[in-house]
Amino acid sequence: MSAGKNYHRRGTVCFRQVAEVIAYREDLYVWVYYDQTDDLLRYEAYVVGYDRRGEPSTLAFVVDEGILPWRTALGQHFTAQNLRSKGAKQSLWAIPRHTTEVLAKPALNVYLKLEGSEVDQLHDLFAEEELRLKRKKRAAWTRRLRALGYDVIPSVD
């Protein structure tokens, strides 16, 4: 946005005239994670901003967020391996704060229950789910990005 002067010498605000370009495959990220407090698989699709050198910098905005069903491959793995927490806490006082002490307890940190190869397998399932979501929601997320003023291209290949 830029501020310009009109004939009354008052500043006016104008939206940028040139749309930023986003390569869907490279610039839109999806993060899938397990929320142990609420026993939910959550996701966020987001775009990062870039600094003057063209390097990724900070989160620009979240395009979409939601909850995944337990019938996905990731959800079935959590259930079959008995990695799920006891479920949503009804009281804020019952939710353990994510301090170093709390996260060091295997009952409150799913990763402490796993061996190295199991962690790798779980990360692979998270990555597969991220790719699946990106494919499935491509049309909707592209429309949202364009509505926000971005020129969305398929890839920079």
| Tens-digit pLDDT profile for residues 106-157 | 766 788 888 889 999 999 999 999 999 999 999 999 999 999 888 898 776 5
Domain membership of residue 9 (yes or no) is: no
Band the pLDDT of 2: cuts 50, 70, 90. Answer: very low
Parent domain of 136: 20-153
Report pTM: 0.77
Answer yes or no: are the C-beta atoms of 78 and 34 closer than 8 Å: yes
> Which position has the higher pLDDT, 91 or 135?
135
Domain membership of residue 5 (yes or no) is: no
Distance CA 30, CA 45 (A): 4
Count H helices and E strands in the chain, helices first: 5, 7
Domain membership of residue 2 (yes or no) is: no
Domain membership of residue 112 (yes or no) is: yes
Q: 151-153 and 21-23 as β-strands: parallel, antiparallel, unpaired? A: parallel
Answer yes or no: are the C-beta atoms of 32 and 130 closer than 8 Å: yes
Overall number of domains in the chain:
1
